[in-house]
Amino acid sequence: MWAVDRKKVSLKENLGRRVFLAKPYSDEAKRLLKLSIFLDDRLEEDLSLDRLGVRQPDIAPVTAKLTPLAIAAGAKMAPAQPFKGWAAFKMSELRPLSVRADPNPPEEPTNEFHALLDRTDFRNEAQANTLAHRLRSHVYALVEPSAAVSTNDGLQDSGIKRASAAILNWVMQKLRLK
């Protein structure tokens, strides 16, 4: 498994923003994720992300570790939200934005894969909206929760699993070509 650098996020890494919406797409036909996935009304704080690894083989073991944490986080929300996966993008696509490693945050002390996107220049609502649009534009896939962990939220019947698996397979083929 990928050995996460607890001090630095590499430009080669895949990052993910957790998706907790029952219906994550604003346009189902175009697979356009809702902007709210990338918004956080705690504007004084940086944006929470998960580090998913560098290569395709890294993603499955990392998501297997992170899925139970994400399910638990969704259960703590008011109202509780089903965890659907991660909106994934490459760190290299975010330049010149800064992402720093933040292993073991207080709310999830066992998450060595946690990172924070610096929102110093995005502290008001309009700026946060601009950042959300930028992040959404770089999403290459909705990475589904680990199959080894049951989420009991109806994903099997929603079609999201099939669609995200197809997208992820296509992306991984492209990454292998590089």
pLDDT reported for residue 155: 38
List the domain boundaries for the chain: 14-177
Give the largest Cα separation in the chain, rounded: 43
pLDDT digits (tens, 9 = 90+) for 114-144: 999 999 999 999 999 999 999 999 999 999 9
Q: CA separation (Å) from 111 to 12, 63, 78?
A: 20, 11, 22
pLDDT reported for residue 130: 96
Per-residue DSSP letters for 69-93?
HHHHHHHHSSS-----EEEEEEGGG
**Angle, to 10 degrees, between the axis of helix 160-177 and the axis of helix 56-76?**
150
pLDDT reported for residue 151: 43
- Compute the average pLDDT of residues 82-99: 95
pLDDT reported for residue 2: 87
- Compute the average pLDDT of residues 6-17: 96
pLDDT digits (tens, 9 = 90+) for 18-62: 999 888 888 777 778 999 999 998 999 999 999 999 998 999 999
Cα–Cα distance between 81 and 74 in angstroms, integer? Answer: 5
pLDDT digits (tens, 9 = 90+) for 147-164: 655 444 433 333 444 444
